[in-house]
Structure 1
Amino acid sequence: MMTTEPEVPTPAVPRRAPREASARFRAPTHVHNVIERRRVLEGLRRSEPRRLTVIHAPAGYGKTTLAVQWLAILQDAGALVAWLGLHGDDVDPHWFLAHLLEAVRRALPAAGESIDDLAALIEQSAEDVQGYTLSALLEVVGDHEERVVLAFDDWHLVDEAAARRALVHLVDFAPPNLSIVLTSRRRPQLPLSRLRVRGHVVEIDADALRFDLDETREFLVELNGLRLDGDDVARLSAGTDGWVAALQLASLSLRDSADPAALISGFSGRHHSVGEYLAENVLDALPADVLDFLLATSVCDRLCGDLAGVLAGRGDGQAMLEELENRDLFLRPLDTEREWFRYHHLFADYLRRRLDRDHPDRLADLHARASAWFAEQTLVPEAVAHALGGGDIRRATDLVEQHAMPLVEHSRMVSLLGLLGRLPATAADDRPGLLMAVAWANCLLQRTAAAQSSLDALLPALPGAADHEEMRSEADVVQACIDIYGDRTDRAEDLVARSLHSSRSYRPWVVAVSANIQTFCDIHAMRFDRARERQRWAAPFHDRTRGPFAGVYGRCFAGVAALSQLDVPAAREELEGAVILARESAGRRSHAAQLAGALLGELHYVRGEVGEAERLLDESGELGSESGVVDFMIASFVLSARIKAARGATDESAELLVEGARVADRLCLTRLRAAVGAERVVQMLARGRTREAHRVARDLPEGSSRHDGIGVRIDQLRTSALAAVHSAEGEHDRAVALVEDLVAEATEHGQLRVATELSIQLAGIQQRAARCLSAERTLAAVLTRVVSAGVPQLVHEGGPDVRAVLARIVGRLGDGDVDESLPPAEELHALVANAPQPIGRASAGDLNGRELEVVRMLDVGRSNQQIARALGVTVNTVKWHLKNVFSKLDVTNRTEAVSVARRGGLLV
C-alpha cells in the first residue's frame, strides 16, 4: 500500500545535523563563574556512602552546580556516572524508562547489549514492565566492579506516582555499588524518613545551599572582580538571602553600574521579586540584537548553533551562543565540545514570560521553526512538542502520522502510542493512515479492545474511492490478526486472501503478517504441509520487513507445523532460528524471544531434555505468560506445570494452572481452558483424586459448536481427559473405545504427534485393563516413530503402565524374538534406561543479582505476590527464585534466608 507523507514545512536556512541529538544524558560541563561549594561538599564527604543523595531547593540555588561538583569528585575516585536531565515528557512511564536505560547505557558501554535488550522490551510490551525492567537494570549495574552513580536532574518535573515507584525500587534494591543523586525544586515525595532511619539518604535543602557571607564575598569580589566593600557585600548577602541566582544577576547589573551603592540599596525590599527586578535591569542594558536573540531562543530547552540561528533568523548562531556564555548570561554548555547549551531554568522561565508579554505574536512562528528543525533531524518527540507549543495541532498530527507506521515496523509501538497520547483525543479521527498504524500497534501489543476500537474508527474514515481498497484490505489483515490472538479462524482466511493473492501490491509487512495468519489457519485445519509451504513462500517478505514480529512468528508457526508431524529436525531448525532472530532483532529479553523460547522449550521437552525445557519455559514466563497466540500460552502454562509437577513442585504447578485458567476465562480462550483443565485431570489422577478429576473433566469445554480444527482439538482434549477418568474408575472398555476413536481421527487428520500421544495413552489404558497383548501391539505400532523422531518423552509421559508394556517388549527381544517393525534393540534399551532428566539442585554459592533482590524484599517483609509485582514477574517465578535462594544459602524458610544473608554481609 502506498501512502502519501504529509508535507512538513522547512525553514530556508541551511542546516547541519548536530553531533549530539540530546544533551539530557550529559551532565553540564564545569563553567568558570561558579565557586566550589567546599562547605557543602565536605558535608557530603562525611556522609558517604549513601544510597540516595537528595538536593532540593527552589530555582536558582545552585542545585545542579553542586551535583556536578559532587559527581566530579566521585568520578575522580573511579565512579561511573549516568546522568539523566529530566524533561516534562518523562512523566510518561515509558519515556522515563527509555531515557533511564539510555543514560545507564552511555555510562556503562560494556553493558550496551543487555540494556538495548531492555530498551527494545519496553517498546514491545503491552503490560507494565517497569518492575521487571528496573530489576534487570539493577542486575546489569551490580555486575560491574566500579561504583555507579545515577544522577537525576530536575526530579520535580516527574515527581508523580510511576516515577516515584521506580525510584523507590532503585533505592530499596540497589546493589552495593549503586548510589543515586537527584536534584529537585521541591522536596520529593519519597519515603525519606524510612530511608533516613536505615541510613540510606542524605538531604541537602535550600538552607544548606544558601551562600554564607564568605561565599558571597568570594563570588562577587574574587570571582567576578567587583569592587565592593564589606558593607556592600553584607547588604547584598542579606538582601538576596544567599540566593545564588540573585547574586549572579546582581553581579551582572553591578559590572557596568555607575552607582553600585544606589543599585544595591534600590532593589532590597522594594520590589515584588528581587530576581525579576535584577533580570529586567540586566536585560534592559543589553544591545537590542542580543536581547532579541535571547527571547527567540528561549522557546527551546536546549540549543545548538544551527538551531539557535534558525530561531533568531541569523547565520551566526554558534558565535552568539558563545558570546552569551562569555557574558555570563545564564547559558551553560552541555558538552565539552560546546555544541549544546541550555539556559538556566530560572532565566529561561523569565525570558519566556517576557517574550509572551512583549511579543506574543512571535510564539507560533518560533515554535514552528523549532518544530521544523527537530523534524529535519528526525527528533520526532521534540518536533511534535513544538508544533503543539505553537498551537499547530494539524502539523503535530502530520508528524505523528508520517512516522507512525515506520515506528510500528521497527517494533516501537509504545513510542507511537506515547506520541499519539500528546495529541488531542480527536486528532486522528480523520486520519486513516494514523488510525491504521495505531490499530497495528495495539494489535501487536495484544490490546485487543483498543485495536478493535481503532479499526472501528478507521473504516468510516475511509473514502469509498477505489484507491483506498488496499487500505481496506490492510484493515482486514489487522482484523484477522486480532482474531487469531483470540484463537478464532472462522473468517481469518477470507480476511487475508486479497493481500496474499495480490502480494506485490502491498508492503512486505502486510504480506508477511497475512502469510502468518494463513499459516496459523492451516495448522489448525490440520493442513501442516500447506502451512510449512506457506512459510517457505513468505520468506522473501519476512526478509524485507523491519522488526521481529513477522519473521519470528513465521518461523514459530513453521516449527509448530513441523512438530505436529514429528519432523523434529525441521522443527528444531525453525524454532532455534526463531529464537536467534528474536534475540538479534528485538533483544534477549524481548517478548518475541520469550515466545519463541517457550516453543523451543516444548521441543526440548519432547526430546527428553527436561532441564533445558524448564529453563526456557521459566525464562519465557518472567514477563507473564499471556502473550502471543494460544499455542505459546499452552507451552508456558500447561507444559511448565507438567514439568514442575513431575519434579514434585506441586504448589508451583497448581499456581501455574490456576493462572492459566484465569487468563483463559478473562480472554475467552476456550482451547487454553481445555488444555489447562485436561492437565489438571492428569495431575489429579496421578495423586489418586479421581472424584475431583471426574468433576473437572466433566466441566471441560466442548468444541463441537466450532466448525474448525480448533474445535476438533478442544474435543480431543476433553475426550482424552474423560477417558483417563473412566479408566481410573475401572470403566476400561469405555475408555478404550473413546481413545481408539481419537487415534483414528487424529491419524486421519494427519496429526502425527497427537496420534502418537493418544496411542501411548491407549496402551496405558489397555495395560490397566489387563489387555496385555493389545497394549503391546498399540505401543509397538508407534515405537519406531518415537525413536526415529527422537521424542522419548512422549513414552515416558505414559507413566508406570506404559513403562511396563515397554519392558515386556524389550524383554522378548532379549529372549531372541525378532520383530522387524520395531526399532533396533539397542535403541529400545536406551529408551528404557533413559528416564527424564532430573532437574538439578542449585549449587551453593553467591546469590545472583535477581536472587539478592528477592532476599532484600524478604528482609522488608514483602509477600510473594508483592515481590512478583515489584519484579514484574509471576508468583511462580518468585517461588523458583526462592527455591534457588534456599538451596544456595542451605536454609528452609524465609526467616533463615534473611538471617544467613545478613550474617554473610549480603544485607545492611
Structure 2
Amino acid sequence: MTSTLPLSIPFTDRLEPAAELTMAGGQPVLPSKFAVPGPPRLPVARIRLAERLGRCVRNPVTVVTGPAGSGKTEAVAAWVRAGAGGHPAAWVTFEQEDDHPVVFWTYLVESLRRSGLTLRRTPMDLVGTAHGQPTAMARLAADLSGQPRPVTLVLDGACTVPGSTWADELDFLVRHAAGLLRLVLIGRSDPPLPLHRYRVAGTLSEVRGGDLAFTGPEAGELLARHGIALAPDGLADAVRRTEGWAVGLRLFAMAWQGRPGADGAPPTLRGDEAGVAEYFVREVLRAQGRDVRDFLLRTSILETVTPELARLLTDRPDAQRLLAELARQNAFVEVVTEQPPAYRYHGLFAELLRTVLAGDQPGRVPELHRRAAGRLAADGRPLDAVGHAVAAGDWDAAADLAVESCAVLRLLTGGPGDRLADLFRDLPADAPGPAAALTAAALAYARAETDAAADRLAAAERSMTGTGATPSRRICAAALHGLLARAAGDAPGMQAAAGRMRVLLAELSPAARERREEVRAFALLLTGTAQSWTGAADEAAATLTDAAAAAGAWPALRPGCLRDLALLHAHRGHLSRAAALVDEAAGLPADTAAPTPPDAADDGAATAEVVRAWVATERYDVERGWRHLRAAEPLCRAPRAGAAAAAAALVRSRLLRARGEPREALAALAGLGGSAVPQWARREAALSRARILAAAGRGDEAAATVAGLPGPELPDCAVVRAGALRVGGDRDGARRLAAAAVDVAGAVVPVRLDGWLTLAGLAADDGDAEAASGALRRALRLAEPEALRRQLHEAGPQLRRLMRDGVPAGRRGAPAADRARPARAPRPRAAPVEKLSGRELEVLRHVEAMLPTEEIAGALYVSVNTVKTHVRSILRKLSASRRTEAVRRARELGLL
C-alpha cells in the first residue's frame, strides 16, 4: 500500500453528511458501506449467538468465520441492532475492490466518526496511516485510547481485501488503543492478522461455522416462520441433512412451501436440487480454478478425505496443502482430525459434486471407486473398501474384501453388520465364487433364514477347492457352522467349529493374526456358549469373560458376550455382577452397538430383560420381576432366544410360586426338558420342579425327579434331596445330605443358602432353638451381600416366624408345657422384607385403624376385590398370617 488517492473532505469535529464526502476523481464515499444489514424477511432470534458475541467482544479481537450462507453476517448484525452491549458500534462492509489503501482507511475512519467518536485529528492526518507513517498511526491510536468507553468496529468482508499491509496497521491500532478498540472481523476465512499471537495472549475470541449452525430449536423456529411445523423426527432429519446450514434450511423451507398441501411428508433436501446446486456453483465452485474443481469432483466419492487418498485419486502431490487451504477458506470443507489430517465435505456439497462427476465423467467413477477400495483395504478399513467396491459395481471384489478381511462375520453378531447388509442388499443371487456364496449365507443367517444359510454355506464349501479355500474363507465357513449349531442347540457342533477357527487362525501369518483378533473373540464366544449349554457354568463364565476382553478389537461382539455372561452369573447367584454386566452392555456407545437384525436384536434384548427379571425375583422384588419378565417374554419368541427363553420360564415359575400358585409354577417348567434347552437350564428346571413337589408334601416324587439327574451327589441335587427326605420324615438322612452340601468347596451361594435353611428347618423340627438360630444366622450372612430374599421367603412359615420373632417352634409331640417354654437363643437378624407399594401402605394404615374391607374400599374408591388383593400382598411381604400380625410387624419395621 504505497500509492495515495487524495481526499476532498471538509474537516469538522461533528459528523458530516455522507453526501459531502468524496475522493479525488469524484469517487464518492458510499453510505451503504456503513449500513448495518437489516434483518431477513423472516428473522429468527438466536439468543444463544447474541449472548456469545456479547462475551466475545470483551476481547480486543473477535473473528466470525464460516461457509457461505452460514448466517455469520446476520448473527453479528442482529447483535449490533440489539444495542451491541451498550457500546458504540461502527460497521463497514468491504469488498475486494476496496484494496486501495486510501479507500480502505477512508471507510474505516469515517465509520468510527459515524459511530459518534470525536476524533481530534483531521481526516487527512488520519488517512495518512495508509502511507505507513508511524506518526499518523500513533495519532489515530492516541485518539482511540482517549475515548471515554470502548468502541466496537465491525469489518464485514475484510478478509477479501488483498494484501496484508492493512492488517499490520490494524494490528498496531489494536495493540495501542488501550483496550478501547474492539475489532469484529467477519468473513469466510481468517484475516491476515496475527491470530496465533492473540490466541496465546488470550485476547482473541472465535466464532466458527459449528457455532453458527442452527440447533434443533432454532431450526424449528425458522421453519415455523415459514409456516412449517415438523414432527420431532422430521425436524431432526432436516437439521441432519443441512448440518444446520442457514441457507440450506431456508431452501428446505422454500421446497416445502412449494408443495401442494401441508400435511404430506416433508421433502428431502438434496445437494443436486436446483436451488442448492445453484448456490454452491455461484458461491463456491466459480471462485475456484478448473484444477481445484476437478480435485473436488474426484475426491467427492470419499466420506472422509485424507491427503493420501486424495493424492491417489487426483495424482496431485500437493493434495494436503490444497485440502488445508479449502478448509481455511471455509469452502464447505472442514477438518475432521488434525493428526493425521482428514477432512470431510458438507453433505449437500458432496452430493452436488458426485452428481456433477457422474454427469461429466461417468466413465471415470468406477475406476475412482476401485482405486479407493484397494487403498482402504490395504489400510485395514474393510467396510469402507467394500462400500467402494459395491459403488464400482464389482460384486465379486466386494464379497472377496468382506470375506478375506473376515468383516462378513460382523453380519452374524450385529454391530456394523447392518451396514454390510445394506451394502449387499442387491447382491445377485447367482453371483459367482465362494466369497459371494459365503456372503449370501451370512446375509441369510442375519435374516434368521437358517435353512437358506445352510444351503448357501454348502454351495460355498463345494466351490472352495484348491487355491479357492483360503484360510479366511474357511474361517468364515467355520463361524457359520458354529452359529448354525448354536441355533440348533448343538453344543458339540459349536465346540468343533470353534476349534477349527482356532486352528485356521494359527495358520495365518503373525501380521494377519494380529488383524484377525475378532476371530479369536468369535471362537471364544462359541466355546463359552457350548460350555454353558453342556452345564459347565464355571468354565463358560471364564471363557465368556475372555471373549468379552478379546472383543475389544470388535466392540459389536462385546454386548452379546456380556449379556450371556450376565445370565450365567445370575444363575450362580452373583446378582450384583449380573446386573452390572447387563447395564454395561446397554451402555456401550451407539456407534459400536449399531442396530442388528430384528431377531438378533430381540435375542440380546430378551437376555437383558430376563437377567433383570431374575435379579429382581431372587431379591423378592416381585413387582419388578414381573415387569421385566413381561418385557422379555415377547422377545423370547425370536428364533435364537433359546437360553433366554429357558431362563424366562424359570423366572416365571419362581414368580408364580411366590404368588402362591404351585400348580402353575410346575406348568411353567414343562417345556424345559428338550435338547434345544441349555443343560444348566434343564437341570435347574428339574431341581425347581423337585422343590415345588417337596413343598407340597410329595417327597417321593421330588426324590425321584432328582434321582434322574446326572451327578445326584453334587451339592445342588443333595440339598433338594435333603428337602425331600425331610418331608418324608427321614430327618437324619436329610441332615447328613444338607450338612455335606454346605461344606463342599466351590458350591454356589444359592445352594449353600438352601442347605443352611434346610438345617435350620430340621433343627426347628427337633425343637433345638439354638441350632435353628445358628443355622439361620449362617443363612442370613450368606443372603446379605447379594440381598437374596426369595429362598428366605420360601423357607416355610415355621422359619419365617423364627426369623421374625426369634421364637422356634416346639418339638413335635412334646408336652404343651415344654412348648410354652422354648429355650432362649440369640435372636437372628430380621429377614429382609420386600418393599410395600404406596397403595399397599395406604391399605395397611386403614387396616391398622381396624376398618373392614368394605370401608377401606369406599375410602380408596376401589373395589373390595382390589382391597383383598392388596391385603394378601401385604401379608405375603410381611410374612404374616393375620392382619393384626401384619400391623405389629409393620410397626417393628417402622412402616407405621
**TM-score, structure 1 as length reference:** 0.47
Structure with larger RCO (C-alpha < 8 A, sep 6+): 1
**TM-score, structure 2 as length reference:** 0.48
Higher-Rg structure is 2
